[in-house]
Amino acid sequence: MLTIVIRRMLLAIPTMIALTALLFFSLTALLGSPAAIMLGQDASTDAIAAINKRYGFDRPLYVQYLDWIASAVRGDFGRSYVTQQSVVSAVLPSIAVSLELAVLAMLMAAVTAVVTNTLPAGRRIVGPFVVGANLVAITVPNFMLGISLIFFFSVGLGWLPTTGWAPWSEGALVHLKHLILPVLTLSAYYFGVFSIIYRAEYRDVEKRLFIQAARAKGISRSRVAFRHALPNAILPVITVIGLSMGQLAGGAVVTETVFSMPGIGRLLVASIGSHDFPVMLAIAMIIVVGVVVMNLLADIAYTIVNPLIRIG
Amino acid sequence: MMASLLEVRDLSVHYADRTRSLLAVNSVSFDLAPGETVALVGESGCGKSTIGLAIMGLATAKRIEGTVTLAFKNGERRNLADLSDRAMQDVRGNEVAMIFQEPMSSLNPVHTIGWQIREAITQHQGGSRASADGAALNLLSQLGIPDAERCLHAYPHQLSGGMRQRVMIAIALSCRPSLLIADEPTTALDVTVQAQILELLKRLQAETGMAILFITHNFGVVAEIAQRTMVMYAGQIVETGDYGEVFHSPRMPYTRALLDSLPHLGRVTAGTRLAAIPGQVPNPAALPSGCAFHPRCRYFVENLCDSRCPPLEQSANHRVVRCLRWKEILAPGQP
Amino acid sequence: MLIRPRRILGFALVACALLCALLANIIAPYDPLRSSIDLLSPSTASHLFGTDELGRDALSRVIFGARTSLLIGFGAALVAMVIGAPVGLVAGYAGGRLDVVAVMIIDLFVSLPGLVLALVITAMVGPSLLNLTLVLGLVMWPGVARLIRGQVLAIRENSFVEAARAAGGTPAWIIGQHIWPNTMRVTAAQFSVSVSLAIFTSSSLSFLGLGIPPPVPDWGGMVRSGYDFLAVNPLLSLGPGAAVTITVLGFYLIGSSVE
């Protein structure tokens, strides 16, 4: 198993290099002259040249890239054009917020999808309803769902707050209360996707001989469902979790904006609005690398969970 | 005369598909004595596996009629068909156990062998993990599995077909059932392994005194192990009797035909062709009138065999036949 | 074509959206760009969805908004198809090293965070109809390529392809005459799903502020500005939001009803 894990990790590195390089080159190419942005459109050529020399914008692109990576690895992403603060100090706290949202959303989606579709009673009763709910879940855009939930639960019923974030210092219960709607919003789509995949796989697993053999041992229906069928049917869900990471990033950006959460997604949108290129680039890079890493983790998780691959 | 272990009376199993109801098992009755091995023989689709599942309460049927009376280990006699699923859970794996045809698919691929054997033991006997492990180790060694310790920690895909079938048997026997239903347990194994498994079953039966209902499509396989045999066709029993007698002097034409289609040393001389039974097993939704076998029977007589369904008649001591003409068709070699 | 409820519902929804887009001039009660002094009025008989913060009729804006969404949706799906289909066809048919390389590239791009990239690139190049269409198409082509490649792999081994090869057909001819026609059913379905995804993503982009610049009515942008007035008139936000949902659902139903 270790060899498989190491091999996957090694494969991820050239992927990350290729993606970050591609991102860097295309963005700097699109950006044009950063000096012109910093100084304003009608700056003199001398002033621009001075800035270029000072920041090293006149060096060949690949040198700039390597330099950027070298600094980034040491934790230095440059300074914000707008605030002149180091990018890291602005970005770091927001990563925690986004991670919490994303992890909770994925967890909620996976657990509810798997459990509702495993319970023998659940499958019978919930079945047709779930199919319809799945369809809605995967087509309603994040922002529409989020705003609808806010309208219903906050503006209408007043049960839940309209923003998605309260710091832990205000108490765990308050913190979690604020998180309910954003987590629901972000997880809805994945609940749909996981449900569809899991139900299909479960239907196949149910027909296999070892399920009947387990019942022949005198095992109850629910134990067979949860201890025999579930561990087999859940494997494709793990794979899909890994593949969904890219899309999750996008969903998180929208959700954070709807619920005014101080996460990395909303920071990205803000930096776009203020043309703050270093912050924008840093966040885009972090997200891309993060997606590759998450993908890798899901891959490894699958290898661990599936004995056919783990031991082979 | 010993009281029977299992009494099946008028067992009928109705399946339903979208448009109609099918009778997979049609009013079957038989007895099984303790410690006896009975072979239930028939082609695929005749309903033999369904009987096994129905006894276990695992048939996904629309309606089941009849009684299945089992003598429990504590002396009680109860009709399994009356029991709830919850009550049947205490019966399955404990009083009656079942092993299946595909050893690979019968074991859960994501759990170790040890986990799966332990589950069977703790389900019925409770106890700690350590004691269950100990019992599992004993079982595996009894079944002739080398390096039982390592086997416990292995996954099914790491074992060979023969080993997996032994594990299946170990699981089935772990709680000392009085009846083992074996549904084609050797069909998916290669010939040498087949023989080993049969030997194993014979030995275990001698040690534990359990009865075996051996379901198969192959007469030859059970020659060494079965005392009695029942032949099934289209959901009905068409002949029963002592294994040797049925084998050597079959009364029912279907049994005859089945036996003739098997290659046997001594029965086939050079130059004779293997006789496959012409025609096909009937579709349970469209059974022939009268005797279900008549379209394929070489003793068919018009207006007799296709007009009424033959009842089971006693042909000798402990022998039963379902054929209107059995008295005329007596010994092999007769036209 | 089997009559399936899914497909019928899908076509019905898409038809609504198309009608709005094509006949906006006739259907919409007001000029979507005309502001009035009737600011933020709630839903009344004359303004079914109320008016927005510039006094414009919200319902008319929603109806006109269909044009932008459908234009971008179809455009982006087309771009994705134009890039992705040839890649998928060639990679699937050629096999060997070419296929391996193509798969590596496709897998690389497929796992990227699409919305984030579209966001950043659009920010750099500026949001115009053309730019949005191109960027979204660029983000979606790997998915299309992968699907088509899968189809080609499935068809490639069929005997009629063998026969064509034996008859001496060139790869280009075989792909054009035999393989492509057989992938078309699935490709058409995939196109519909792509349109659905493009509208989904472009409306998210405009919600985040990177849609067609005002005053052109644009569903995502309308949701964003209407959000501020959720307590006053929820339809300002939920109206265009529902329009997006219905259109996305419609195209998705059509595309997913083909197996």
SS3 B231: strand
Displacement of CA A148 from its chain's centroid (Å)? 22
Q: Which of C113, C121, C238 is the closest to A291 by Cβ?
A: C113
pLDDT of residue A40: 65
**Whole-complex ipTM:** 0.85
Helix segments in C208-234, DSSP class H: 219-227
Question: Are residues A284 and C204, on separate chains, in Cβ contact within 8 Å?
Answer: no
Please check the confidence at residue B335 and state whether its pLDDT lies above 50. no
| C92 neighbors A226 (Cβ within 8 angstroms) | no
B147: how many CB neighbours lie within 10 A of its CB? 10
Place of tokens 């982009």: C205
Q: What share of chain B is helix, strand, coil (3-state, %, to 5)?
A: 35, 25, 45
Question: Are residues A214 and B108, on separate chains, in Cβ contact within 8 Å?
Answer: yes
Tokens of C91: 């990679």
Closest-CA distance of chain A to residue C222, Å: 11
Are residues A102 and A52 both part of a single domain? Answer: no
C-alpha to C-alpha distance for A121 and A125, rounded to whole angstroms: 6
Report the alpha-carbon angle C199-C204-C205, nearest 5.
100
- E strand or H helix at A140, and its extent? none
Q: Is the dihedral of CA A12, A14, A18, A23 positive or negative?
A: positive
Beta-bridge mates of residue B13: B25, B64
**Total domains present in chain A:** 2
C-alpha to C-alpha distance for A192 and A131, rounded to whole angstroms: 9
Q: Where are the beta strands (DSSP E) in B100-227?
A: 179-183, 211-216
- E strand or H helix at B41, and its extent? strand B37-41
| C184 neighbors C40 (Cβ within 8 angstroms) | no
C-alpha to C-alpha distance for C38 and C24, rounded to whole angstroms: 22
Q: Which of A217, A220, A231 is the closest to B110 by Cβ?
A: A231
C27: how many CB neighbours lie within 10 A of its CB? 15
- Which residues of B are less than 8 Å from A205 in CB distance? none
- Nearest CA to C48 among C37, C38, C61, C58? C58
Taken as a whole, chain A contains a residue count of 312
Q: Is residue A212 part of a domain?
A: yes
**B115 CB within 8 Å of a chain A CB:** no
Tokens of B155: 């996954």
Are residues A49 and A190 both part of a single domain? Answer: no
Are residues A48 and A128 both part of a single domain? Answer: no
Are residues A230 and A249 both part of a single domain? Answer: yes
B265: how many CB neighbours lie within 10 A of its CB? 5
pLDDT of residue C236: 87
Lowest mean pLDDT among A37-41, C54-58, C223-227: A37-41
More confident: A230 or C57: A230
Question: Are residues B109 and A219, on separate chains, in Cβ contact within 8 Å?
Answer: no
Place of tokens 């197996």: C259
Q: Is residue A258 part of a domain?
A: yes
CA atoms within 13 A on the CB side of C171: 9
| C20 neighbors C66 (Cβ within 8 angstroms) | yes
C-alpha to C-alpha distance for C227 and A183, rounded to whole angstroms: 19
Are residues A246 and A295 both part of a single domain? Answer: yes
| B4 neighbors B51 (Cβ within 8 angstroms) | no
Place of tokens 């022939």: B288
Q: Is residue A19 part of a domain?
A: no
pLDDT of residue B213: 94
Tokens of A248: 């999750």
Question: Are residues A232 and B100, on separate chains, in Cβ contact within 8 Å?
Answer: no
Are residues A55 and A116 both part of a single domain? Answer: no
**B110 CB within 8 Å of a chain A CB:** yes
C-alpha to C-alpha distance for A221 and B179, rounded to whole angstroms: 23
- Place C153 in a pLDDT band, splitting at 50, 70 and 90: confident
What is the count of residue pairs from A and C with beta carbons less than 8 Å apart? 127
Tokens of C163: 């026969």
Q: Is residue A28 part of a domain?
A: no
C-alpha to C-alpha distance for C130 and C140, rounded to whole angstroms: 16
Displacement of CA C24 from its chain's centroid (Å)? 20
Q: How far lies B39's CA from each of B239, B258, B277, in Å? A: 12, 14, 21
SS3 C156: helix
Q: Is the dihedral of CA B247, B251, B256, B257 positive or negative?
A: negative
Condensed to tens digits (0 to 9), the pLDDT of residues C61-77 reads 888 889 899 999 999 99
Q: Is residue A23 part of a domain?
A: no
Are residues A71 and A92 both part of a single domain? Answer: no
Domains of chain B as residue ranges with CATH:
6-226 (3.40.50.300), 233-264+275-330 (no CATH)
Q: Is residue A125 part of a domain?
A: yes
C-alpha to C-alpha distance for C30 and C17, rounded to whole angstroms: 18
Q: What is the CATH number of the domain that holds A230?
A: 1.10.3720.10
Question: Are residues A273 and C203, on separate chains, in Cβ contact within 8 Å?
Answer: no
B45: how many CB neighbours lie within 10 A of its CB? 18
DSSP C103-133: HHHHHHHHTS-HHHHHHHHHHHH---HHHHH
Displacement of CA A277 from its chain's centroid (Å)? 22
C-alpha to C-alpha distance for B67 and B188, rounded to whole angstroms: 32
Which residues span the domain enclosing A103? 87-311
Q: How far lies B18's CA from each of B54, B107, C73, C82, C210, in Å? A: 21, 32, 43, 46, 54
pLDDT of residue A290: 87
Strand B228-233 and strand B236-242: the pairing is antiparallel
C-alpha to C-alpha distance for C84 and A237, rounded to whole angstroms: 27
Q: Which residues of chain A have pLDDT under 50?
A: none
Are residues A152 and A276 both part of a single domain? Answer: yes
C-alpha to C-alpha distance for B154 and B114, rounded to whole angstroms: 8
Are residues A224 and A288 both part of a single domain? Answer: yes
Are residues A58 and A92 both part of a single domain? Answer: no
Tokens of A124: 């019978």
| B237 neighbors B28 (Cβ within 8 angstroms) | yes
Are residues A279 and A298 both part of a single domain? Answer: yes
Q: Which of A30, A138, A273 is the closest to C125 by Cβ?
A: A30
SS3 C138: helix
**B90 CB within 8 Å of a chain A CB:** yes
How high is the mean pLDDT of chain C? Answer: 84
C-alpha to C-alpha distance for B152 and B121, rounded to whole angstroms: 14
Phi then psi for residue B112, to 5 deg, are: -70, 160
Last residue of a domain, one of A51, A76, A101: A76
Tokens of B10: 């008028």
Query: Hey, what amino acid is at A113?
Result: A
Tokens of C72: 């971008």
Report the alpha-carbon angle B235-B236-B238, nearest 5.
140
C-alpha to C-alpha distance for C206 and C200, rounded to whole angstroms: 10
C-alpha to C-alpha distance for A281 and A265, rounded to whole angstroms: 13
Question: Are residues A151 and C196, on separate chains, in Cβ contact within 8 Å?
Answer: no
C-alpha to C-alpha distance for A80 and A279, rounded to whole angstroms: 6
- Which residues of A are less than 8 Å from B158 in CB distance? 311
**pTM for the whole structure:** 0.85
Are residues A194 and A265 both part of a single domain? Answer: yes
Taken as a whole, chain C contains a residue count of 259
SS3 C189: helix
pLDDT of residue A76: 72
Q: Is residue A202 part of a domain?
A: yes
Q: Is the dihedral of CA A123, A126, A129, A130 positive or negative?
A: negative
Question: Are residues B102 and A209, on separate chains, in Cβ contact within 8 Å?
Answer: yes
Locate the chain A residue with the closest alpha carbon to C232.
Answer: A155
C-alpha to C-alpha distance for A147 and C87, rounded to whole angstroms: 39
- The yes-or-no reply on A/C contact (3 CB pairs or more, < 8 Å) is yes
Please check the confidence at residue C136 and state whether its pLDDT lies above 90. yes
Condensed to tens digits (0 to 9), the pLDDT of residues C175-197 reads 677 766 777 777 888 899 999 99
Condensed to tens digits (0 to 9), the pLDDT of residues B258-280 reads 887 776 555 555 555 556 777 77
Angle between helices A87-116 and A264-273 (to 10 degrees): 130
| C132 neighbors C211 (Cβ within 8 angstroms) | yes
- Which residues of A are less than 8 Å from B85 in CB distance? 221
- Which residues of B are less than 8 Å from A312 in CB distance? 157
A196: how many CB neighbours lie within 10 A of its CB? 19
| A87 neighbors A80 (Cβ within 8 angstroms) | yes
Beta-bridge mates of residue B99: B182
Angle between helices A277-305 and A2-31 (to 10 degrees): 160
Phi then psi for residue B231, to 5 deg, are: -110, 135
| B123 neighbors B197 (Cβ within 8 angstroms) | no
Question: Are residues A210 and B94, on separate chains, in Cβ contact within 8 Å?
Answer: no
Domains of chain C as residue ranges with CATH:
65-256 (1.10.3720.10)
Q: Is residue A288 part of a domain?
A: yes
For residue B157, what are the contacts with CB-CB under 8 A and spacing of at least 6? A307, A308, A311, A312, B104, B109
